[in-house]
Structure formats: C-alpha cells, structure tokens
Amino acid sequence: MTPTEALPKVLDHIDADLDASLARLFDFLKVQSISTDPAYADQCKRAADFVAKDLATLGLTSEIRPTGGHPLVIAKPEKQNGGPRVLFYGHYDVQPVDPLELWKTPPFDPRIEDLGNGRKIIVARGACDDKGQLMTFVEACRAWKAVTGTLPLDVTVMIEGEEECGSKSLFPFVEKNADEFKLDLALVCDTGMWSPTTPSITTSLRGLVYEDVIVTAADRDLHSGLFGGAAQNPIRVLTKALAAIHDENGRITIPDFYDGVPELPPDIKADLKALDLTPAEFLGQVGLKIPAGEQDRMLIEMISTRPTCDVNGIIGGYTGEGAKTVIASQASAKVSFRLVGNQDPVKVRDAFRDFIRARIPADCKVEFENHGLAPALQLPFDSPAILKTRQALQDEWGAKAVTVGAGGSIPIVGDFKRVLGMDTIMVGFALDDDRVHSPNEKYDLASFHKGTRSWARILAALAA
C-alpha cells in the first residue's frame, strides 16, 4: 500500500487516538524543563529521557547525546528505505514561568479550557513553544507506524534542550557531526498559522547585522554655559548621522544597501495582498496607526520580506534626576539591520560604518563594535517540497496555504543550509494569541489535532 493509499486510514487513526495523544502531551508538559535556570538541569534531563523513550516507540533508534549544556536527543531509522531523507528539528526546553502569580493555574499542570463557540485550548508552559508543536509531528509519525508498521519516508529527529537560552551547544554539535546529518530536507515546526483557519509556510527568515557605534568629542564632559556653541556635541553629531539613514519615504539611504534584495514573484505578492493586513489590525494593537517603513510597500512586506534598520538604543550625557548643564564627551547607539534575500551582512556592516564615518566632524572620533552578522534565508518559491507541502496543508485546512516571511530568525535553520546544505520547510500551527513566553501560554486544541493531521499529509506528500 502506497503512502497515498494509506493516508485516509492514518488520518482516521489520528482522530480515534486524540485522547491518548493528549495524555502523552500532558505527561510531557508536566516536565519542568526550564533550560536557562541551572536549578532545572535534572528536569531537562528528564525531558530528554521522555523524548528519547517516546521516539523509540516509532521504530527509530533513539539515543541521548551529551553536550556542554543540556543533552540532545537523536533518533534515526533502524534501516533506510531508499526514499527521501528528512531531518526533523524541535526543542524540549521551555521559558521560565515568571511572574508566577499571573498564571490562573500552575504552569506545569496542563489543562483543557473551553472558550466557547467550539474553541478549546491547552494551557501550560510549553503548550505551544515547543512541546505541543513538536508532538504534532511525533503523533503523526506514531499514526503512520500504527497503521502501516513503518514511516512513509526516512525520518531522523533532532530535539535539543537549549533553544530558549541560545542553542549554544547545538551549533558546534551540527558542525562537528555534519556528515551524519546531511540529508535531503529539514523540517521545523516552531512557526505559526496566518490565522486560525489559514495555514502558512515560512519561506524566508531575515538576517541580522547588529552594531554599536560610539562617538567621542572632547576629552571630558563640558560645561554647556562655557563651551556651548563652540564644542562639538557628540549626541547631536550621532543623532544627525542616524537620522540620515532614512529618507522621507522610509527608504534606507546607505549606498548599495539594497543590493541583493529580491522582488517577490507576482503570484506570491498577490497572495500577500489578498491577506489584507491593515495598519489598524497590526499597529492598532500597540497604539499606533501609521506604517513607518517604505511607503511604496505593503505593510506585510515591511514586516516580513523587506530589509530594515532600527536604532535600538541611544546613550549619552546626563539622564538622572533634575538638571545638569553638560555637553557629553561621548554618545553611543545600538543599531540593528534586518536583512533579506542575498544581502551580504559584511557589506552592509561596512557600508553602515562608512556612512557614519562620512558624517563625523574632523575633531570627533567614531568607533564600532559588532554583535552579530547573519545572512537571510530565502527558500525558492517553486521548490517541489514547498509545492507539495502547500497542497497537503490546503487539503487539511480547506484554505490555500500562504507563503510568508518571518521578521525574525531561527538561527539553526541558517546552519542547516550553511553547514548541511539543506533547505528547511517551516510549518507550524501556533496562533498570535498563544501567549508564548508569557503567563497562561496556550495551544489551540484544533492546532494540535489538525496540526497532527497536517504532518501526516505532508509526510505522505513528500514520500510521493
């Protein structure tokens, strides 16, 4: 029986096994695997043990790999079936629960809450990020194993325990063991839906350049009554240079900044336009109403597929209580760039530094410090794997799956491409109101149930 022929029975099994699937998820959610706090190291080990034992029931050879931090769980097929080989990535660690007093019920005591109108939610720390999402994939694999005795394609699973505190052990592990994990495609479920009824595939992740810029003028703070008007004020110098980065239409003026920035294909742009994301809907929730990006671009482009520059902080002069009439000797700023397409982080960094240097007076000094350089990731929109995944999601949700760009980054996805040479399909079922990293984190029951069915369909589609 081919995967396509077996799929209806697999979906029926998922439906019939939902209560048991929830019981397994709840057991997982009870583990207090807070990775950033050393006091919970034993709980992180317990979570790794839970995942390893569970994956072993899927016909995979499962093992716990030690790292310099919390352990990794690796599970592989007992034998290769000759089909496509995929690497699934997730994480078992969770964020701290503070402030505890804002939780309606204990954060590691999972429960189902009925919101009315047929909507039920799973409430617990990790319900969405990432235990619930991770288990949608595991439960889909379990259903395939129960119905057919095997998985429809070769699946290797990599589950880490430090995603919430920087994945410091994962990156060197992937580089050291690159030959072991160079497969055909990676799968990641740590993303979300466009809406409760519209699935999405994340096809791009913005890169990053993060710079400190420090301007120094006089050799000490000066009395503004004595030196004002004659001495250079580094705060004025710096803010004037930073203000020149954007023109009146929100476009970045740094020379060659847009080199490597692609235009969206017409059909993808039409899909995004059809989503009709409005300023009132997106900015209204934070008390704003006027988009500040490139004025010739849609709002959804501004936040997902276009590059940006933001000043994240400015420091200088006297900021304490009352007044102190000084001209500061030094001013600094933190500046971040989000990159897209084929923008080169090194070239963007160097162009930014040249741009600032050109605006610094002769008797001032400017210094820079870099805190991050990461290229953007863009998947080809016509990738066969993406096209198959879009169709599988549409079959499950009854709505066209949109391809969207993520405004932030998932660093390991970049390493999968850079080190392992693999593209990554990023599909998740989180919603904007899931309160990720906040008290009363939740995951819709429909996200868990239909997410599991979605992965079963995706596995069948990729196998075909």
Domain borders along the chain are 3-205+376-463, 207-261+307-374
- Predicted local distance difference test score (pLDDT) of residue 410: 79
* Nearest C-alpha neighbor of 145 from the set 56, 74, 72, 64: 56
Q: Which residue has the tokens 């979300």?
A: 192
What are the CA-CA distances from residue 135 to residues 21, 51, 126, 188, 298 (Å)? 8, 10, 11, 12, 35
- Predicted local distance difference test score (pLDDT) of residue 35: 97
Helix (H, G, I), strand (E, B) or coil at 406: strand
| Rg of the chain in Å (alpha carbons) | 25
Q: Which residues contact 453 (CB under 8 A, 6 or more apart)?
A: 11, 14, 15, 140, 396
What are the CA-CA distances from residue 312 to residues 241, 302, 332, 388 (Å)? 15, 18, 11, 40
In terms of DSSP H, where are the helices of 320-383? 345-357
Find how far residue 411's CA is from the centre of its chain: 8
CB-CB contact of 378 with 203 (8 Å): yes
- φ/ψ of 448, rounded to 5, equals -70, -50
- Predicted local distance difference test score (pLDDT) of residue 83: 80
**Buried-exposed string 80-90: b where 16+ CB fall within 10 A, e elsewhere:** eeeebbbbbbb
Beta bridge partners of 63: 74
What are the CA-CA distances from residue 318 to residues 313, 322, 333, 364 (Å)? 15, 10, 15, 19
In terms of DSSP H, where are the helices of 358-410? 384-397
- The burial class, CB within 10 Å (0-12 / 13-18 / 19+), for 391 is middle
What are the CA-CA distances from residue 218 to residues 215, 230, 328, 333, 367 (Å)? 10, 11, 8, 18, 15
User: How does strand 424-427 pair with strand 185-188?
Assistant: parallel
Tokens encoding 170: 């994962």
Angle between helix 18-29 and 445-463 (nearest 10)? 110
Find how far residue 351's CA is from the centre of its chain: 27
Beta bridge partners of 202: 404, 426
Rounded CA separation 123/222 (Å): 57
Torsion, Cα 50 53 55 60, to 10 degrees, reads: 160
- Predicted local distance difference test score (pLDDT) of residue 255: 98
Q: Which CATH superfamily is domain 3-205+376-463 in?
A: Zn peptidases (3.40.630.10)
Rounded CA separation 172/153 (Å): 28
Per-residue pLDDT of the chain (464 residues; tens, 9 = 90+): 899 999 999 999 999 999 999 999 999 999 999 999 999 999 999 999 999 999 999 999 999 999 999 999 999 998 877 789 999 999 999 999 999 999 999 999 999 999 999 999 999 999 999 999 999 999 999 999 999 999 999 999 999 999 999 899 999 999 999 999 999 999 999 999 999 999 999 999 999 999 999 999 999 999 999 999 999 999 999 999 999 999 999 999 999 999 999 999 999 999 999 999 999 999 998 999 999 999 999 999 999 999 999 999 999 999 999 999 999 999 999 999 999 999 999 999 999 999 999 999 999 999 999 998 889 988 888 899 999 999 999 999 999 999 998 877 777 898 999 999 999 999 999 999 999 999 999 999 999 999 999 999 999 999 98
Rounded CA separation 50/94 (Å): 15
What are the CA-CA distances from residue 189 to residues 193, 213, 301, 427 (Å)? 11, 37, 23, 5
Beta bridge partners of 404: 202
- Predicted local distance difference test score (pLDDT) of residue 169: 96
- Predicted local distance difference test score (pLDDT) of residue 408: 72
Residue type, 291: P
Rounded CA separation 304/201 (Å): 13
In terms of DSSP H, where are the helices of 149-278? 170-176, 178-181, 224-227, 234-243, 266-275
What are the CA-CA distances from residue 265 to residues 170, 258, 320, 371 (Å)? 34, 17, 52, 33
Under CATH, which architecture does the 207-261+307-374 domain have? 2-Layer Sandwich (3.30)
**Buried-exposed string 346-382: b where 16+ CB fall within 10 A, e elsewhere:** eebbebbbebbeebbeeebebeeeeeebbbbbbbebe
CB-CB contact of 139 with 10 (8 Å): no
CB-CB contact of 151 with 59 (8 Å): yes
CB-CB contact of 150 with 59 (8 Å): yes
